[in-house]
Chains A and B, each alone.
Chain A
Amino acid sequence: MGATHLLTIDDLSAADIDELMRLTDSFVEVSERRIPKVPALRGRTVAFLFYEDSTRTRLSFETAAKRLSADTMNFSVGSSSVSKGESLRDTVQTIQAMGVDGIVLRHKSAGAPKLITQWTDGSVINAGDGWHAHPTQALLDTYTLRQQRGSLTGMRIAIVGDIKHSRVARSNAAAFTKMGAKVTFVAPKTLLPSSLEPWDVTVAHSIDDVIDEVDVLYMLRMQMERQERSPVPSLREYTRQFGLTAQRFQRLNDDVLVMHPGPMNRGVEIAADVPDSVNGLVTDQVRNGVAVRMAVLFKLFSTTSDPSFSKPTIAAPAGA
């Protein structure tokens, strides 16, 4: 069987996502064990190739791989021959020659994960490529909403902020709509993609236009860095139009869920106390991220579809 990859949400059908969600349920259970580790991928080697700084995604993938007993190999730009000008192709072929079953790639160039599939026999998992896609983020967010409400069908989700430069927005819009939710992009036109044709979404140009009619507010990180030709006049102006301020939070229905992919700029796109409120799901997202990535790794690298890991293969310590 040829290698399979996870490059975008488009690679998955709704049924595939459902299956991954059910697998994730098992791994949530594993993660709650006293020793949260199963031998499902023993003898498998996964390489992490991160061309872009990432704390949470990388730690999440590493934790997931270790809980599945996979061997891991780390290749980061700063400490490798990449900084000496080695091409992506040569790096991938070097890793391939060492013998790996798969590569988890984070790259600043959209399409880099697709590009490397031609140079490796293993599976490629996209851990974020430029503005393009971040499929495991979308899966963990889908899982988190499903955990809260059972299903996404009919759910009204507003994705608020810099959609244009966001792989999270692209992948989440694809996953949420695929699972039956109604998605609205909320942003000034300067922060929207040049065309919305690829997504089945509606658009609003102020958070106040949607705030009373949503089930979920998905807040994106607003870039703090000063940019040439900045797409917004100032962060203050952005917060006034698009921030989930304390006042707006007061207005929300009690059951509105608030999500953020992190890292957050508290006080800019989201008021300081909101993420820690009962409506906030940020820590659930992070926690579920490990289990979802376990499901993805298991699905791609396990030789069997039988989740034998669910049996207690490691004896529980006495007194547990």
Chain B
Amino acid sequence: MPASLTSISSVTSIVIKGGLVIDRSGEHMADVVIESGHIVAVGKDLSGDLVLDASGCVVAPGLVDVHSHLREPGMEEAETIESGSRGAVLGGYTAVVAMPNTMPAIDCASVARDVLALGRESLCDVYTSAAITMGRAGEILTPMAELAALGINLFTDDGAGVQDPAIMRLAMEYAAGLDVTLAQHCEIESLSHAGHMNEGAVSAKLGVAGIPAEAEELMVSRDIALAKLTGAKVHFQHMSTAGSVELIRAARATGMSVSAEATTHHFTLTDSCLESYDPIFKVNPPLRTAADIVAVKAGLADGTIDAIATDHAPHTPETKERPLDQAPPGMLGLETALALALTELDLPIADVLRLMSWRPAEIVGIDDVHSGKIEVGAIANVCVFDPQEEWTISGSAMASKSRNTPYEGRTVRGKVRHTIVAGEAVVIDAEAQR
């Protein structure tokens, strides 16, 4: 009988059979038994009530996305925490961090509590970030201590950077005392002003206002300096340019403990996609050049960039049918990131998992629950995927309420088969169970 027809509620133990276990301590062939939310046995020829076939598959710690726009509250027509979490688990994620640019913004305890409560009903662990400034307006700090008391470790005005260096300095000093991390969307708005794509030969030809690489790099540079000044923990979101990667690399060489992420689309797509004028390729920061892709990939390979993030940004079809300058920026990512990383990055699977699982968990301080270990006693957050299976990306087949994938029709390698969140098999044979 197919596993998916088994009554889940009657299951007391799950065995993942015949897979190659890859976690942060190495790799070995083993069966994994899960009971009461934990991994209770790892070894040969194990059994359980529910058998999940993992032959030909990798059995890995669940993926962690440090950067998801789940759109709730306020934009539920594009995505909800539930629909976003369903996409997440289908993509192999067991934890996502929601971004605070909702309506209203997640800038106070009451909104944060609502989001966390909705997260508890969803299919994966939903953590939330909170805004650095009230209304993400860049002027007045949010009650970070009260928000941190709710378990929030990451603060960001994502969708916008904190423009005023004095406000950012205050935020860093305040955050340093709370031991929380500030994540910056690096964009000097007076330089990117009214831009809709990367500034360069393509934007010049298309007659579209451009966003220069320097709009990002100047803020990366500024915030490295401020982090040095304040001692704050700073995380750099969606690094998109060769110059940014180099700045992060240089900062690390001085011993600073800054962290950085890159999105899937910034190592798979270039600004030449915009020659179609299709707003499906509009995103912020914008798609850059082939040389930037080379630099981002090198940064991922040598660890300069800690994490692959999705920047999953659902938008309704009607808003993505507007002319390029009127359409909102953003693209879906949760259901395609792992396959794109496996297909496009020339890295061992263990490195891809470091970038997508345990390292991002450390950045957001959830490595107690998402430990990156498949070992007895660990909380059972597990992702099982076939690294060789080819499939074709289709927006309409996704769990997201939106369809704005820039990869429509693209064939990729690597398919999630099962996902287990805190011991619950939420995806079995590539089907969400609720």
Contacts and interface: CB of A to CB of B under 8 A. Distances in A.
A236 B321 CA distance: 42
B204 A112 contact: no
A2 B20 CA distance: 53
Interface string B312-333: 0000001001111110000000
Interface stretch (B205-213, B391-399, B401-409): B205-213
B323 A111 contact: yes
B129 interface: no
Given A109-B324, A112-B323, A195-B201, A87 B208 contact: no
A87 B199 contact: no
Contact of A194 (B203, B321, B323, B325): B203
A10 to B, nearest CB: 9
Given A107-B323, A110-B277, A112-B323, A194 B207 contact: no
A114 B322 contact: no
Nearest to A131: B207
Given A110-B207, A130-B208, A167-B207, A195 B324 contact: no
Contacts of B278: 115
A194 B199 contact: yes
B200 interface: yes
Interface string B373-417: 000000000000000000000000000000000000000000000
A110 B325 contact: yes
B71 to A, nearest CB: 21
Interface in B258-288: 276-278
A198 interface: yes
Contacts of A112: 323
A115 B325 CA distance: 12
Given A131-B207, A133-B207, A229-B190, 17 more contacts: A87-B318, A88-B323, A89-B321, A107-B323, A110-B277, A110-B324, A110-B325, A111-B324, A115-B321, A129-B207, A131-B208, A193-B204, A194-B199, A194-B200, A195-B203, A198-B201, A198-B205
A130 B208 CA distance: 8
Contacts of A109: 323-326
B204 A111 contact: no
B202 to A, nearest CB: 8
Contacts of B277: 110-111, 114-115
Contact of B276 (A114, A195, A198): A114
Which of A88, A107, A131, A193 has the most C-beta atoms of chain B within 10 angstroms of its own C-beta? Answer: A193
A229 B323 CA distance: 25
Query: When A and B form their complex, which 7 residue pairs have the shortest distance between CB atoms, in order from nearest?
Result: A111-B277, A132-B207, A109-B323, A131-B207, A193-B204, A198-B205, A197-B201
A114 B324 CA distance: 11
A111 B210 contact: no
A61 to B, nearest CB: 21
Contacts of A35: none
